[in-house]
Amino acid sequence: MKKKKVAIIGTNGIPSHYGGFETLAEYLSQNLNQDYDLYCYCAKTPKHKQLKEYQNTKLIYLPFKANGWQSMLYDAVSIIDSLFKHDVLVILGFSGVFAFPFQFIFRKKIVFNIGGIEWQKVRGKKFSAKLEVWAKKWFEYICVKSSDVVIADNQVIYDYVVKRFHIQPVLAEYGGDHAVFEPIEPNMTAQYPFLNSDYDLTVSRAQEDMNIHLVIEAYKRIPHRTAVIISNWQISEYGKALKAENKDKYKNIILLDAIYDLKVLNTIRSNCKIYLHTHSLCGTAPSLTEAMSLKLPVICFDVPTNRATTEEKSLYFGDIQSLIAVLKELSEPQIKQLSNDMYEIAARRYTWERIVELYKQCIEI
């Protein structure tokens, strides 16, 4: 029997070097390549670094970047090209919105991961902000109505899709079990001396909705605890300003640049005392499912999506004062309970075996 041709669209491509969608694409590629002929669209890459195949998935490179203003062009071209060539399109995010209506001509199957509720992330009261909200709501509508199956990555987003579009999406989060415990090796402590003592950790992008500023301000007031903060500081004015204001100025606040070596990152994550998840405008954050899979005691920024991911079993903060209060009141039995609760949820819900099976069911529906 001839295999279905399935295209993965909307990421930088594989091998994965970036965030949640890229990791998802990697695990779909790794686990579905026996069932389907897989194709993955990849962003602009120097020719000498391009691969023909990866994990039995054919890679298709386009001359556009997957981020910034080129993202809509990149995804739209990927979709149109795929409509000519493939049977099923797994589309991650709505950047390619202008190509979605062509589905009604080609009648190919579209499995659409809606990502976050993007219009809710718009800030400001000016006309331009209102226009952006309207546009993103319209883009979202076009993508959902053009798709055969809609995937929501968090219960809050699932409920939103049901209420707004009166359809039944599929709830499929992200696996976290690729993050594995790494012991501290002697050579690591020379580069990262904080590994020799207790420290709390947070890892996120340098965006205001990641609330890094709250963590920094809180730890200035609790100098007996150490915070290690890993971020890509240079991607935003917000990140640059935070780093300039706080780098090497407080003994208990350690700011590190983004770490892409997974073994190093897992060593730092595996051995922290507390993990702070600070994201406020995402669905189910891959970094959170990874922390839970590592059996870390997690404290979360208090938003419904984080409560849904942790099944209300984490501890939550919403500002500097509440974070300080939570940290001051933490006991060793609480830390142990948090660790056990987070791991139990992750082992039950956030495994790649389960997530990939859900996507396979979506392809076959």
Measured in degrees and rounded to the nearest 5, phi and psi for residue 127 equal -60, -40
**CA-wise closest residue to 90 among 15, 166, 172, 191:** 172
Kindly report which listed range (114-123, 172-181, 228-237) carries the lowest average pLDDT score: 114-123
The two tokens of residue 242 are 């935070």
**CA-wise closest residue to 297 among 330, 258, 256:** 330
Superfamily of domain 5-175+351-364: Glycogen Phosphorylase B; (3.40.50.2000)
What local confidence, expressed as pLDDT, does residue 16 receive? Answer: 82
Instruction: Confirm if 280 and 116 have CB atoms less than 8 A apart.
Output: no
Round to whole Å and give the CA distance between 202 and 255: 10
What local confidence, expressed as pLDDT, does residue 18 receive? Answer: 61
What local confidence, expressed as pLDDT, does residue 281 receive? Answer: 87
**pLDDT exceeding 70 applies to what percent of the chain?**
99
**CA-wise closest residue to 218 among 209, 207, 226:** 226
Name the CATH topology of 186-349.
Answer: Rossmann fold (3.40.50)
307-344 pLDDT, tens digit each = 999 999 999 999 999 999 999 999 999 999 999 999 99
User: CB neighbours of 35 closer than 8 A, spacing ≥ 6?
Assistant: 3, 360
54-to-40, 312, 332 alpha-carbon distances in Å: 9, 39, 45
In the chain, domain spans: 5-175+351-364, 186-349
Give strand pairing partners of 109. 88
Three-class HEC string of the chain? CCCCEEEEECCCCCCCCCCHHHHHHHHHHHHHCCCCEEEEEECCCCHHHCCCEECCEEEEECCCCCCHHHHHHHHHHHHHHHHHHCCEEEEECCCCHHHHHHHHHHCCEEEEECCCCHHHHCCCCCHHHHHHHHHHHHHHHHHHHCCCEEEECCHHHHHHHHHHHCCCCEECCCCCCCCCCCCCCHHHHHHCHHHHCCCEEEECCCCHHHCHHHHHHHHHCCCCCCEEEEECHHHCHHHHHHHHHHCCCCCCEEEEECCCCHHHHHHHHHCCCEEEECCCCCCCCHHHHHHHHCCCCEEEECCHHHHHHCCCCCEEECCHHHHHHHHHHCCHHHHHHHHHHHHHHHHHHCCHHHHHHHHHHHHHC
Round to whole Å and give the CA distance between 88 and 39: 10
In 180-210, which positions are buried (b, 16+ CB within 10 angstroms) versus exposed (e)? eebeeeeebeeebebbeeebbbbbbbbbebb
What local confidence, expressed as pLDDT, does residue 99 receive? Answer: 95
192-239 pLDDT, tens digit each = 999 999 999 999 989 999 999 999 999 999 999 999 999 999 989 999
Residue 144 has pLDDT above 80, yes or no: yes
Q: For residue 275, what pLDDT band results from cuts at 50, 70 and 90? A: very high
What local confidence, expressed as pLDDT, does residue 79 receive? Answer: 97
Cis previous bond, 15, omega within 30:
yes
What local confidence, expressed as pLDDT, does residue 315 receive? Answer: 98
**pLDDT exceeding 90 applies to what percent of the chain?**
87
48-75 pLDDT, tens digit each = 999 999 999 999 999 999 888 899 999 9
337-to-89, 244, 310, 340 alpha-carbon distances in Å: 42, 37, 13, 5
Q: Do domains 5-175+351-364 and 186-349 have the same CATH topology?
A: yes
How many other β-carbons are positioned within 10 Å of the β-carbon of residue 342?
29
What local confidence, expressed as pLDDT, does residue 126 receive? Answer: 83
What local confidence, expressed as pLDDT, does residue 121 receive? Answer: 81
Give strand pairing partners of 258. none
What global pTM score does this model have?
0.93
How many other β-carbons are positioned within 10 Å of the β-carbon of residue 237?
9
What local confidence, expressed as pLDDT, does residue 127 receive? Answer: 83
Residue 178 has pLDDT above 70, yes or no: yes
